Amino acid sequence: MQIAPILRHDPTWQQAAADAHSDLVILSDCNLGRNLTDFPFPNCCTEDELLAVESRIVRVLDQLNLLASGHYFKLVDLDRSEVQLLAERQLISPALTSPKPGQGVYVSQDQSLSILVNDEDHCCIRVLTSGLQLEDAWARASLMDDTLGGVLDYSFSDQFGFLTQNLAHLGTGLRCTVVLHLPGCAQRSELADLRETAEESELSFRGIGIGPPSGDTERPESNPLFRQALYSSMDGFTSRMPYDSEGDLFQLSNRSTLGQTEEELLFQVKQCASGFIRREEAIRKQMHAEESEVLFDRVERARALTLRAHLVPFSESMALLSSLRLGVSLGLISDIPLSALNRSLIGCQDAHVESRREQKEGPLSELDLKRFRAALLKARFESPNN
């Protein structure tokens, strides 16, 4: 397996940074889209042009010695399961799970930074951080942008800023997203108010869905492998209406990239996210005081199912992890670290479940995936030390 070097290690964002509201904020990410001046946008490029763009970017990565501290993968050279694993780790977008020649990704050793080549734009810098650490994500993305921009000639307009294939990204080319865990707001029907608050700040507040990439018609429905997963693109994760979110997870992101500086965009998203965090914490405190027995039952049921269930669909695993995370946050569970919950969120996706098989003879059935996922959860949470 070509991507084996990165699979040996967990991404650093899964470690749940202290003092970053990591119990309520799963991750923060910054996506920065850039294009080269002497090529059409990727959707208008010929195959030869896509290959030329890829060759130029990889050559620059080598010149900057970045290949010594990371890996570059030509996606067409990987098998389907490897490409899917990259998508499930949020290192590539869902569009790249059916790769074409000239498409690839650079992944840093700590898996907190990836550079997508010939996706929506010629180059997309993506940085993931644990908890509410947007400034840290932006600092690393900006440094990489300046480093590459010192060698590559970006498409830029004095009037409009950086030119991107998607007009919604014109200007800074920056889309930042915060993934929040809000079971209290969901239970108390506060989601409509949160959405209204976000819209007043010209931000987007949406639920997070699971399933295949939208428009994915190449994979037959008879083969369920890789159908259940989390996917994120330049615009964030697969979108759902807030009340239809999986695992009580929600995403907050900037809606516009034009007319404001990067720092202003980051400030707006962080300020709104901080308000949502305070609201969720107040609701949890009230629930703990008024409904302690109900909360304890929810958490203990979830823990019992992770240890005893024989078949677990991915959607159910997200619900179980949501309840366990709530229990850890409220102090009802003391022997499960947040990092174990973060690892499970990634590890319960279809390709990651499949990759844990010791004997790989033939495709997995849907029943197999549920069985292996249940075994994975049991192995992770039956030991107090995790």
- Residue 215 pLDDT > 90, yes or no? no
Return the pLDDT at 8: 85
Tokens representing 114 are 């990836």
Q: Which residue has the higher pLDDT, 361 or 325?
A: 325
What pLDDT band is residue 153 in, cutting at 50, 70 and 90?
Answer: very high
Nearest residue to 119 (alpha-carbon basis) of 104, 109, 108? 104
Amino acid type, 241: M
Nearest residue to 20 (alpha-carbon basis) of 179, 164, 139? 179
H helices present in 38-155, as ranges? 47-63, 80-88, 134-149
Other beta carbons within 10 angstroms of residue 195's beta carbon come to 20
C-alpha to C-alpha distances, 327 to 243, 295, 333, 337, nearest whole angstrom? 22, 8, 5, 11
What pLDDT band is residue 213 in, cutting at 50, 70 and 90?
Answer: low
What pLDDT band is residue 364 in, cutting at 50, 70 and 90?
Answer: confident
- Residue 219 pLDDT > 60, yes or no? no
Write out pLDDT tens, residues 104-131: 999 999 999 999 999 999 999 999 999 9
Q: Which residue has the higher pLDDT, 355 or 75?
A: 75
Alpha-carbon distance of 116 to 83, in angstroms, equals 13
